[in-house]
């Protein structure tokens, strides 16, 4: 697989997002199935694994630690803090909370190191900017963790170019992570250029548009806990309109002899050399299909056709609800 730079780390151009193995798209798979996916990725040459304290409220970090700690020298480990589960009511039920206070970030890091079974996290992201805390304070706390040897580098997730510049002035930012795919083009407003200017890697999550770019989905069959049930683009009216984009998109994939998922990921790889997609899956076959994007070549003519077909003007519905939009700092069209 081709290699790309993630700050000081040379990693596989396609990484693995480790949310799906325990969180977000329905009932979690078994620990055995998660292990199969993680080890298959490692064996296939993936050297960039991305997890977070939020995913399964620690379950993803725990699985990554259990399965991959024995192979720690073979990959770059990324995780995230600043958003996780808290027992707010004292009833044992964890509630998702955004908390960027320095003391919280320090405590989250200590817990993550234990779950991940490692002495140091290579890349540690602020998962969400807690708007009640100056970004300089949160990044300052993370820089303290760098000096303490707990983490090697710092990342930010779902922030604007302005916030990135403020943070970068406090401590060099290695990577910025945001949703990016043909149907979510917000990074093109300002963040992609800011990353290029500052020498920051751009890590693209949900590169296959939360499954949309893999082919038609039965939205009525989504699990009750599937986060797409609350996403406007998957609401019946919007989804019906978005489905009209798929036949010409699938035709391009067929024309090129690749799968729809490979086409979506290859588009990102061709956009810029500082972009690193991290598709997520709990299925080994899907994993191998995703990684096959590494060998797909796209001409400038095909790139233009794809971008004209699926973009911010042709996709129906916002990517997030109003509540979720209020929690991120990304630019919007």
Active site residues: 55
Helix (H, G, I), strand (E, B) or coil at 21: coil
26, 43, 264 from 231: Cα distances, Å: 14, 34, 20
Instruction: Enumerate the β-bridge partners of residue 36.
Output: none
Q: What angle do CA 316, 321, 324 make, to 5 degrees?
A: 135
DSSP 103: H
Helix (H, G, I), strand (E, B) or coil at 59: helix
Distance spanning both ends of the chain, measured CA to CA: 34
Q: Are 156 and 141 in contact (CB under 8 A)?
A: no
| Gap between the Cα atoms of 235 and 316, Å rounded | 10
| Gap between the Cα atoms of 77 and 202, Å rounded | 16
* Residue 125 φ/ψ, nearest 5 degrees: -95, 150
Q: Which residue has the tokens 């002495």?
A: 119
Give the residue from 329, 318, 282, 280 showing the smallest Cα distance to 52. 280
Give the number of other Cβ atoms within 10 Å of residue 232's Cβ: 17
- The widest CA-to-CA distance across the chain, in whole angstroms, is 58
| Gap between the Cα atoms of 16 and 277, Å rounded | 8
| Gap between the Cα atoms of 188 and 168, Å rounded | 20
């Amino acid at each position: 697989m081709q290699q790309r730079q993630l700050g000081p780390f040379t990693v596989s151009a396609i990484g693995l997002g480790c949310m799906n193995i325990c969180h977000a798209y329905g009932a979690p798979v078994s620990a055995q199935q998660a292990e199969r996916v993680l080890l298959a990725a490692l064996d296939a040459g993936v050297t960039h694994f991305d997890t977070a304290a939020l995913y399964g409220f620690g379950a993803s970090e725990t699985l990554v630690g259990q399965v991959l700690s024995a192979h720690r020298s073979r990959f770059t480990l990324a995780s995230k803090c600043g958003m996780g589960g808290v027992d707010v009511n004292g009833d044992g039920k964890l509630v998702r909370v955004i908390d960027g206070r320095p003391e919280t970030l320090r405590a989250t890091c200590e817990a993550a190191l234990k779950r991940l079974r490692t002495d140091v996290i290579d890349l540690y992201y602020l998962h969400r900017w807690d708007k009640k805390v100056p970004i300089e304070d949160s990044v300052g706390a993370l820089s303290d963790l760098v000096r303490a040897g707990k983490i090697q580098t710092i990342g930010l997730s779902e922030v604007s170019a302005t916030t990135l510049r403020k943070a970068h002035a406090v401590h060099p930012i290695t990577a910025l992570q945001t949703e990016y795919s043909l149907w979510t083009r917000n990074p093109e407003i300002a963040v992609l250029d800011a990353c290029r200017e500052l020498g920051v890697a751009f890590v693209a999550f949900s590169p296959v548009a939360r499954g949309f770019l893999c082919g038609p989905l039965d939205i009525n069959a989504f699990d009750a806990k599937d986060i797409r049930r609350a996403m406007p683009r998957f609401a019946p009216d919007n989804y019906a309109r978005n489905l009209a984009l798929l036949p010409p998109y699938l035709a391009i994939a067929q024309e090129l002899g690749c799968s729809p998922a490979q086409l979506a990921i290859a588009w990102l790889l061709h956009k810029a050399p500082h972009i690193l997609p991290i598709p997520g899956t709990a299925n080994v076959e899907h994993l191998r299909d995703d990684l096959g994007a590494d060998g797909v070549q796209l001409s400038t003519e095909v790139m233009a056709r794809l971008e004209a077909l699926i973009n911010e003007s042709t996709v129906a519905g916002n990517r997030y609800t109003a509540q979720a939009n209020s929690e991120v700092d990304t630019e919007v069209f």
